[in-house]
C-alpha cells in the first residue's frame, strides 16, 4: 500500500513541473507582458524600466528558473489589475471556489445517487426513462446559459435569491478560513450564515447540474450491474427487504465507480466553476482566472492557472489513493502493469 502511495506521489512531481512549464510558456506566448500592462500611456522608457523590474529582459531559461524558484517560495508576483500580491488574491478567491464546488459536489452526489438508484430499481419503467432524459439534458445544456437564466430569472428578476457576491454588502464579517458558511457557524453568527447560504444556493445548484447528471447515469449503470450479482440474490433469498438490499448492500458496493467519477469529473467541475462564477459574479478562483486572462495580468494568470492545475492534480492523487485503498485489485494491477 505504502509503495503504491509513494509511487503516485512521486509521479506528481514531474507532472507538476510540466504544468508549471506549460503555464510559463503559455503566458510568454501571449505577447510582451510589458506592453500589455504599461501599454496605454507609457513612453518607451517606462516600458524598458518595467521590463528590467520584472526581469523580462533576461534570457528565457533564466526567467524560467527564477519563476520556479519564486513559486516554490510562495512569491507569485504582483497583480496589476487588483494592485495586490497575487498570492493574496489567490488566498482570498480560492476558498470561495472550494466552498462553491464542495456544496455543488455534495448536491450533485446526493441528487445523482438518489435519482440513479430510483432509475436502477425501477428499471425500464417511466421513472427510469424520466431520470435518464433529465440526466441526458443535464449534460447537453450549456452551463453558462443555465447560470444566466437562473441569475436573471430567479436572482435579479424574481429576487428570490441574492446574487452577485458572497455576502450582502454592508455586513461586518471577518472570515476565518475563507469559507464563509463554515466561518459563520464557527462564530455562531446565524445571520451571516443564512446570508452566506442564501448567496451560495443558486450558483451551487447551477454548478451541480452537470455532475448530478453524470452521477445519475453512473449510479444507474453501476447499480444495475451490482444488482445482477450473486450476493444480491443471496441477500434477497435471505428475506431482506428490497430497500435494505438496495441501500445497504448493492449501493455500498457500487460506490467505487462513483468515487472515481467524482474524481475524474472534478476537472469538469472546476471548468464549470469558471463559467458559473463569471456569470454570478462569484469572487472565486474561476472568475479571477478569467478576469486576469482577459486583462493580460500575466502574474495573476500564471498564479491562477498554476493553482487550478495543482488543485486538480492533487485531487486526482487523492482519488487514486482512495481508489487503491477501496479496491485492492487496483493497487496490484497498478504495480504490475504501469
Partner 1 sequence: MIHVRTTTAAALALALVLPLGGCQRALPPAAAIYARGADSKSLDPQAVDDGESAKVIENIFDTLVAFAPGSLEILPALAERWEMRPDGLLWTFHLRKGVGFHDGTPFDADAVVFTFRRFLDEAGPSLPPDVPYGPYYRGPIASVEAKDAATVVFTLKHTYAPFLPNLCMFAAGIVSPAAVKAGGGKAFGKNPVGTGAFRFQEWNPGEKKITLVRNEEYWRGPAALARVVFMTIPDNNARLSAFRAGSCNWMDSPNFEDLEACRKDPKVRLWSAPGLNVGYLALNTLRKPFDDARVRRAVALAVDRKKLVEALYFGAGKPAVHPMAPGILGYDDSVKVPAPDRARAKALLAEAGFPDGFDTELYAMPNPRPYYPQPQKIAQVLKSDLEAVGIRATINPVGEWAAYLDAVQNAKHPMCMLGWTTDNGDPDNFLTTFFSAECAQPGPGALGVSFWVDPRMQDLLRRGEREVDAGRRAAIYREALALVREEVPLVPIAHAEQFVLSTRGFEGFTVQPTGDLFLHPVRPVATE
Partner 2 sequence: MREGAAALGRDRRLRALLRNRGAVAGAALLLVLALLAIGADALTPHGPRTVDLERVLEGPSSDHWLGTDDLGQDLLARLLHGARISLLVGAVSVGIAVAVGVPLGSIAGYAGGWADTILMRLTDVMLAFPSIVLAIAIVAALGASLTNLMIAVGLVTIPGYARQVRASVLQVKAEDYVTASRALGARPLRILAGTVLPNCLAPLLVLATLDYGVAILEAAALSFLGLGPEPGTPEWGKMLADSQNLFSLAPRVVIAPGLCISAAVLAFNLLGDGLRDALDPRAR
Residue 267 interacting with partner 2 (CB under 8 A): yes
Site membership for partner 2, residue 301 (CB under 8 A): yes
Residue 39 engages partner 2 in binding (rule: CB under 8 A) = no
If binding is defined by CB under 8 A, does position 145 make contact with partner 1? Answer: no
Nearer to partner 1, 42 or 240 (CB): 42
Is 67 exposed, middle or buried, given 0-12, 13-18 or 19+ CB atoms closer than 10 A?
A: buried
Cβ of residue 243: shortest distance to partner 1, in angstroms?
Answer: 9
Binding letters toward partner 2, positions 145-184, x by CB under 8 A: xx-xx--xx---x---------------------------
Q: What's the min distance (Å) between Cβ of 155 and partner 1?
A: 6
Cell of 72: 516554490
> For 269-292, b where at least 16 C-beta lie within 10 A, e where not — what string?
bbbbbbbbbbbbebbbbbbbbebb
Instruction: Record the cell numbers describing residue 209, joined without a space.
Output: 447540474
The answer to whether 156 contacts partner 1 (rule: CB under 8 A) is yes
Using CB under 8 A, which of 53, 165, 177, 234 touches partner 1? 165
Q: Where are the alpha helices (DSSP H) in the chain?
A: 2-29, 33-38, 44-54, 60-73, 86-121, 126-140, 143-149, 180-186, 190-227, 230-237, 242-243, 252-264, 266-280, 285-294, 298-326, 328-337
Q: Which three cell numbers stand for residue 309?
A: 492545475
For 78, list phi and psi in degrees, rounded to 5.
-115, 135
Burial class of residue 134 (count of CB atoms within 10 Å of its CB; 0-12, 13-18, 19+): middle
Task: Assign 181 to helix, strand or coil.
Answer: helix
Is 195 an interacting residue with respect to partner 1 (CB under 8 A)?
A: yes
CB under 8 A: which stretch of 165-173, 229-237, 244-252, 264-272 binds partner 2? 264-272
145 vs 141: CA distance, rounded Å? 8
Cell of 278: 463569471
Q: Which does 63 bind (CB under 5 to 8 A by kind): partner 2, partner 1, none?
A: none
- The full DSSP string for 209-256 is HHHHHHHHHHHHHHHHHHHTSHHHHHHHHTT--HHIIIIIIIIHHHHH
- Span of 34-42, 133-141, 234-242, 307-315 interacting with partner 1 by CB under 8 A: 34-42
Q: Which of 154, 185, 313, 322 binds partner 2 (CB under 8 A)?
A: 313
Residue numbers 279-318 binding partner 1 by CB under 8 A: 280-281, 294-296
Q: Is 18 in the site for partner 2 (CB under 8 A)?
A: yes
- Determine if 264 is a binding residue for partner 1 (CB under 8 A): no
Question: What is the per-residue binding string for partner 1 in 35-54, x denoting contact by CB under 8 A?
Answer: xxx-xxxxx--x--------
Q: What is the chain's Cα-based Rg?
A: 24
Provide the binding-site residues for partner 1, judged by CB under 8 A.
35-37, 39-43, 46, 83-84, 88, 92, 151, 155-156, 159-165, 168-170, 191, 194-195, 197-199, 201, 247, 280-281, 294-296
Provide the binding-site residues for partner 2, judged by CB under 8 A.
14-15, 18-19, 21-22, 26, 29-31, 136-137, 139-146, 148-149, 152-153, 157, 221, 267-268, 270-271, 274-275, 278, 286, 289-290, 293-294, 296, 301, 305, 308-309, 312-313
Amino acid at each position: 500500500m505504502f509503495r503504491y502511495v509513494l509511487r503516485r506521489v512521486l509521479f506528481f512531481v514531474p507532472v507538476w513541473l510540466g504544468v508549471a512549464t506549460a503555464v510559463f510558456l503559455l503566458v510568454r506566448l501571449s505577447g510582451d507582458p510589458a506592453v500589455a500592462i504599461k501599454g496605454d500611456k507609457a513612453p518607451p522608457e517606462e516600458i524598458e524600466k518595467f521590463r528590467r523590474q520584472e526581469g523580462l529582459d533576461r534570457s528565457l531559461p533564466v526567467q524560467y528558473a527564477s519563476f520556479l524558484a519564486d513559486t516554490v517560495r510562495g512569491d507569485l508576483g504582483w497583480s496589476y489589475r487588483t494592485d495586490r500580491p497575487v498570492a493574496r488574491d489567490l488566498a482570498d478567491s480560492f476558498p470561495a471556489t472550494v466552498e462553491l464546488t464542495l456544496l455543488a459536489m455534495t448536491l450533485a452526489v446526493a441528487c445523482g445517487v438518489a435519482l440513479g438508484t430510483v432509475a436502477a430499481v425501477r428499471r425500464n419503467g417511466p421513472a427510469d426513462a424520466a431520470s435518464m432524459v433529465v440526466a441526458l439534458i443535464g449534460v447537453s445544456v450549456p452551463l453558462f446559459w443555465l447560470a444566466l437564466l437562473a441569475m436573471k430569472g430567479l436572482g435579479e428578476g424574481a429576487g428570490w435569491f441574492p446574487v452577485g457576491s458572497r455576502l450582502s454588502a454592508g455586513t461586518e464579517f471577518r472570515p476565518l478560513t475563507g469559507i464563509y458558511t463554515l466561518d459563520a457557524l464557527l462564530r455562531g453568527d446565524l445571520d451571516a450564515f443564512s446570508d452566506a447560504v442564501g448567496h451560495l444556493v443558486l450558483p451551487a445548484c447551477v454548478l451541480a447540474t452537470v455532475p448530478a447528471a453524470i452521477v445519475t447515469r453512473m449510479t444507474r449503470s453501476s447499480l444495475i450491474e451490482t444488482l445482477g450479482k450473486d450476493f444480491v440474490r443471496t441477500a434477497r433469498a435471505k428475506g431482506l427487504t428490497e430497500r435494505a438490499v438496495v441501500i445497504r448492500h448493492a449501493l455500498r458496493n457500487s460506490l467505487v465507480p462513483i468515487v472515481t467519477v467524482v474524481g475524474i469529473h472534478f476537472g469538469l467541475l472546476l471548468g464549470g466553476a469558471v463559467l458559473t462564477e463569471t456569470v454570478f459574479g462569484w469572487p472565486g478562483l474561476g472568475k479571477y482566472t478569467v478576469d486576469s486572462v482577459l486583462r493580460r495580468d500575466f502574474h495573476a494568470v500564471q498564479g491562477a492557472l498554476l493553482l487550478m492545475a495543482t488543485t486538480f492534480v492533487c485531487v486526482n492523487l487523492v482519488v487514486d489513493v482512495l481508489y487503491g485503498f477501496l479496491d485492492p485489485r487496483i493497487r496490484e494491477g497498478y504495480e504490475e502493469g504501469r
